Structure 1
């Protein structure tokens, strides 16, 4: 774990993160409201510890004993100091520190030393909490801390030490009172649900807190119903959000049962909707498709939550509410983003990848999006969110959606910039009997360049031939506020690092060799076909070098440009058949 972390030199204070959060005045106001808003009484006894579903790493205890505190891909040398008294190496590190999720690693170590370490660190935080930065008091972090304390209470509580037991429960009560007054300040999306879940967890796990469960179940259920769409996707459009939520929703359901209470219908229904949607996003190699913030798939967590799926229902083809299409034909799997960006309050991690797709054959990934990097490689996030990091068309190296901070037309957005658009985004799947057709269009390049983009993808029933067209239209000619432009376009096919690409001598085709030995051909009528460098960001080991096939050209003075391209399983030697235009004929059943 720590071996892959980036070291942080404590002497380099100028490089330390300066995390944000509620200011002193806001915290003072919330503290005053807390005693009035919290319906529960002082915690006096814990009855239940929620099950911890997240994977634990017992080696964390050894590293901590040696003075290494590794979180979120960063390593802090704490030596004899408390980790709560040093400058955090990054905001991600600080968030995980204050969330106390790392207690599970100490619990997994299962020895007296790790137990004493855990008790000492919780005591440190309780002792220092009033002086801690505002980040520690962001509602979603308080919520995560409450859940972590409850889940690992067996580690830090000792009934043989009544004074320490009482101190812990006083601190827990203070966190809950603060959270009851501040949960509405949580950012939209998963953080808000975490804050509400923490209050309900506490009401179920602490004795005589029925009023807490009664007070917060209704707003929690209302929020859960809003965030989990009818097709099971999350309102943020990020596939990974579903895993994170299930890791908390499943134990919460168990807590209701353990207290002889029927879980709310909204809770059980949400879990039942999410399960098939996770299978919808799961690709042949077991990872989740890389759309809208999806990064390295936590395959252990994914396997854990899917083990609770009793139905194992077949995923739908079109998840209209979430804005995705999944075509599972023969050994070919094709996933396409056909939805616009989520609401601005939920779009800080969203990507400008409308009409991008991923494709695999069997358990071999082929065409991918670059994906979102892990926390320790945040410098890649602006690129990861841009259209150029996706397998779709870009015009003048710009993004099809608008980032509200940083970059020209969103080409290099600020790290957490909200995303809107693209304008007039429309797409749908049509089942035409002998083939399946995805058609979509948007005006994401209209404001800056006077250009609209339309894409259609026709997939044969066997999945062995995909014929497609990208069309650029500029009824009044291309334009730019910066003056004359050539109108460069690029249709990108980012390849998984396991794929080998080779340009065919005709200059119009590229042969892809998958790790199972299969060969596929990308061919087109584009003026230029090249193989260029790319990077696969959604790898747990960090960014991995890979390649991309780029079909390029210049729009110039034309009012319309049509680029036809095919992806076809290559069975025999030779240059393959003619280019299939999706407007003229259905693909043959290869």
Structure 2
């Protein structure tokens, strides 16, 4: 978003005389991090900076992720959790440092909409700790800076591309209309623009247009405090807010595994259980997760203690595809308190090289043809990594059976253009949840069989969660054992599987070594493979 050189004078205006309300913050806080920050040690965005007493805002950030978190001020929640005067004074000093060094640098990265909106939400939410013991001079500087930032964000908001950042921008502006003195018209205008994002971005089945379940969690973390703030100040909620939040909760339940964690599709990464529970305790929606998300294009098979979630849709169109992962027909399997088969997931801390690997089909539990991903990404610096080819159509068939077994068949055209091939995957989960059977077939367009001269090579990968022990028997079967003793056996009827080294990106501590089951086959000799996971021990 290029706006040219912008002067802060353009956004000067009246200074609000007070803050009316401070929204809550649902994110997990740790007072020990407040202590680290007091001593000049900033652990942010997967990086670490020791300022040795200097202001971090006058130093070079060790990574882009660090810069984003530092200038987003989400770490103020740790200062509030410390709940003492020293932490408040430190928070106030750091905010004052930022206002002095960056508060009028509207062309800097600190004023990117994704950072600016996060910072405003943090400043509103944690204003009590920032203003604790503050003199009138700082109070006025703080309000003056907030007012300038709000005016600037309101100016750039219409040009922010549709997606999570745009939604958060509208949340921040709606919050500003409630936290700062504003007339009824201003409050209604902000609410109307927020309502438009609910209509534009939240699908009828509760999914997000990005097809990333973590976006749902991120949005709820800010939407729930905003909803309560509307109630606290006695303002009418935006009409789409309550039904929209209910739909998001429904979508979030769809993407949760048996152990409560979120599935790893399309940019999702690991989320701590505390973070997830801090949001889910506000869920007033009723009922179980749906069998299918027809608008988000995912399947969910659940029986007994077992949950299988599968991606059965094409990527979003246009700019939204910048975050799409090439995981069509990939699935994840969980049972009880453990996740057994997963995708590699997005790196927890931003890393573009790791992310580029995580987007590949090979990083998902599905079939890769000729070591090529089912999506092709632009290499243009202007367009960004948008999808420019690959999966455009996915046909789904329901395979639910009268005996209670549930399943589906999905066929996609991601390999039609480069190799003139289609991939069909069938999954069936038994009624008791003890067995998952699968079939993978490589076909020619029109679902014609492979000819003898075909030279393609295929690999079906099943990424095993890092916490699962893996052992291959002499007969080729593979035993997967969780920490609580629950075990599943993998069998492939017509090809012996291999156990290979692997990497799991979605981990709080960074990329983690693990293993994967790989079944390599040549479609000309073996047009389909039949495999199964069967539970051999564990509680019902």
TM-score by length of 2: 0.92
**Which residue is equivalent to 2:470?**
501
Match of 1:431 among 400, 415, 421: 400
Look up the match of 1:441: 411
Structure-1 residue corresponding to 2:459: 490
Give, in whole Å, the separation in 2 of the partners of 1:536 and 1:486.
Answer: 31
Deviations 1:284-331 (A, max 9, x none): 222111111111113212101111113442111101111111111112
Q: Tell me if structure 2 keeps the 8 A contact 1:427–1:440.
A: yes
CA distance in 2, matches of 1:131, 1:177: 14
The answer (yes or no) to whether the contact 2:490–2:531 under 8 Å persists in 1 is yes
Output one character per residue of 1:180-231: Cα deviation in whole Å (capped at 9) or x when no partner. 1111232421110111111111111112343321222112101122111111
Q: Does 1:137 align with 2:106?
A: no
Matches within 5 A, 1:52-131: 52-129=25-102, 130-131=104-105
CA separation of 1:22 and 1:145: change in aligned 2, threshold 3 A: farther
Give the TM-score taking structure 1 as reference length. 0.84
Distance 2:132 2:332 in 1: 51
Matched, 1:451 2:421: yes
Structure-2 change in CA distance of 1:208 and 1:131 (3 Å): closer
Which of residues 246, 256, 265 in structure 2 aligns to 1:282? Answer: 256
Inter-CA distance 379–414: structure 2 relative to 1 (3 Å threshold): farther
- Secondary structure of the 2:436 match is strand
CA displacement, residues 384-437 of structure 1 (integer Å, 9 cap, x when unaligned): 11110111000111111111128xxxxxx9996223541322234343322323
| Partner of residue 3, structure 1 | none
Contact 1:203 / 1:211 at 8 angstroms: preserved in 2?
no
Match among 261, 281, 302 for residue 328 of structure 1: 302
The match for 1:211 is: 185
Which whole-Å CA distance do the structure 2 matches of 1:279 and 1:260 have between them?
30
Partner Cα separation in structure 2 for residue 363 and residue 287 of structure 1: 10
Alpha-carbon shift at residue 571 of structure 1 (Å) = 6.9
Q: Which runs of no fewer than 5 residues in structure 1 stay unpaired?
A: 1-20, 407-412, 573-589
SS at match of 1:27: coil
Q: Which residue of 2 aligns with 1:578?
A: none
How many aligned positions are there? Answer: 533
Q: Does 1:223 align with 2:197?
A: yes
Runs of 4+ in 1 over 4 A off after TM superposition: 413-416, 475-479
SS at match of 1:170: helix
Q: Does 1:547 align with 2:520?
A: no
TM-superposition CA deviations, 1:316-369 (whole Å, max 9, x none): 110111111111111221111111112332233321101010112211211111
Q: How does 1:351-500 map to 2 (within 5 A)?
A: 351-375=325-349, 377-405=351-379, 417-419=385-387, 421-434=390-403, 435-474=405-444, 486-500=455-469
Match of 1:527 in 2: 495
Residues 395 and 490, structure 1, Cα contact 8 Å, conserved in 2: yes
Asked if structure 1 preserves the Cα contact closer than 8 Å seen for 2:74 and 2:119, the reply is yes
* Of 159, 181, 188, the match for 1:185: 159
Could you say what secondary structure the match of 1:405 adopts?
coil
Q: Distance in 2 between matches of 1:570 and 1:181?
A: 60
CA distance in 2, matches of 1:46, 1:113: 22
Distance, in Å, in 1 between the alignment partners of 2:133 and 2:350 is 39
Say if 1:22 and 1:138, in contact at 8 Å, map to a contact too.
Answer: no
**Aligned-pair distance for 1:42?**
3.7
Root-mean-square deviation over aligned CA pairs: 2.7
Alignment partner of 1:568 is 2:538: no
Task: Measure, in 1, the Cα distance between the counterparts of 2:2 and 2:148.
Answer: 16
Alpha-carbon distance between aligned partners in 1 of 2:121 and 2:162, rounded to the nearest angstrom? 19
Aligned-pair CA distance for 1:159: 7.6
Structure-2 change in CA distance of 1:447 and 1:505 (3 Å): same
CA distance in 2, matches of 1:306, 1:54: 12
Could you tell me how far 1:72 is from its partner in structure 2? 0.7
CA contact (8 A) 1:459 1:466 kept: yes
Hey, what's the Cα distance between the residues in 2 that align with 1:471 and 1:485? 14
d(CA) in 1 for partners of 2:498 and 2:21? 60
Q: Cα offset for 1:26?
A: 4.5
1:301-312 alignment runs, 5 A limit = 301-312=275-286
Q: 1:518 to 1:119 in 2, by over 3 A?
A: closer
CA shift, 1:259, in A, is: 1.3
**Structure 2 gap ranges (5+):** none
Change in Cα spacing, 1:414 to 1:569, as seen in structure 2 (3 Å) is: farther
Where 1:96 maps in the other structure, the secondary structure is helix
Partner SS state of residue 431, structure 1: coil
Tell me the alpha carbon deviations over residues 128-151 of structure 1, each in whole angstroms, 9 at most, x when there is no partner. 223476211112321111111111
Contact 2:495 2:529 in 1 (8 A): no
